Amino acid sequence: MPEIERVFILKVFIWDDRKPHRYPEFSIYPIEAFCFLSLEECISKISDYGPGDYGYCYVVESHSCGIDMYFGTKERWLFLPDGTLFSHTFSGDEAFERNMEYQGRKPEDCHFKEGDLVEMMDDETVTLGIVYQQPPTPAEIEEFRKERREHGGWDEMVDGAEDRYIILVNQLRDNGDSIYMRSLRGPLASCLLPPSMPVPSKLRKQLLELLKRVHEEKSEEL
């Protein structure tokens, strides 16, 4: 019997009907999960689901056998409700195990650009945010390696954990004042989707103003 090196977990996410579907945040949950020995089997299983308004997305994650499933990130595929592959990232422990080097992501290969509104998946919570920065480009990754070598750093492999956007999310303090969340360790490219509902004009305006304010704050720091 051949040795099994990887398994593929398919999760079927649906809208959480127990809570309101409205921005800036709403809930989803995986109604079903399946384990397969190949990506092709996962894709075949996705095709079993017909179109419907209850499905949010499909997520496939691969796990190398013998590695802690809760440590680091994995190779991940994100599929739209109609079963179309939307994005793919390769990062974390599996990258090192399989010697996969992250080369950066060209702007034209990014689904989203600065100023785009996006839905950011974080486990079973989806939050509306605005793109502040795309993942590093190939030139930026090479510059990072060059600087590390010049400073005597270990020329270690850069894995796909760097394949992340920086997203701004508007939040409110207890007193009603607006603040924003800016994660320097932002979501993986395979955790972002375009808005699935119409975005209220007031919220859209708030996020665009937030992006402008952050740029102004950044300019003042220089």
pLDDT of the residue at 40: 95
Nearest 5°: phi and psi at 181? -105, 125
Q: Which H helix or E strand runs over 44?
A: helix 39-46
How do residues 121-166 score in pLDDT, each as one tens digit? 988 999 999 999 999 998 988 888 787 777 766 555 676 777 889 9
Strongest mean pLDDT among 15-24, 46-55, 91-100? 15-24
pTM: 0.84
Q: Which residue has the higher pLDDT, 15 or 176?
A: 15
pLDDT of the residue at 156: 59
The answer, yes or no, to whether residue 193 has pLDDT greater than 60, is yes
Asked whether the beta carbons of 45 and 10 are under 8 A apart, the reply is yes
How do residues 61-76 score in pLDDT, each as one tens digit? 988 777 666 654 578 9
The answer, yes or no, to whether residue 220 has pLDDT greater than 80, is no
Q: Which residue has the higher pLDDT, 172 or 120?
A: 120
pLDDT of the residue at 18: 87
For the chain, domain boundaries: 6-221
Nearest to 119 by CA among 31, 202, 178, 57: 57
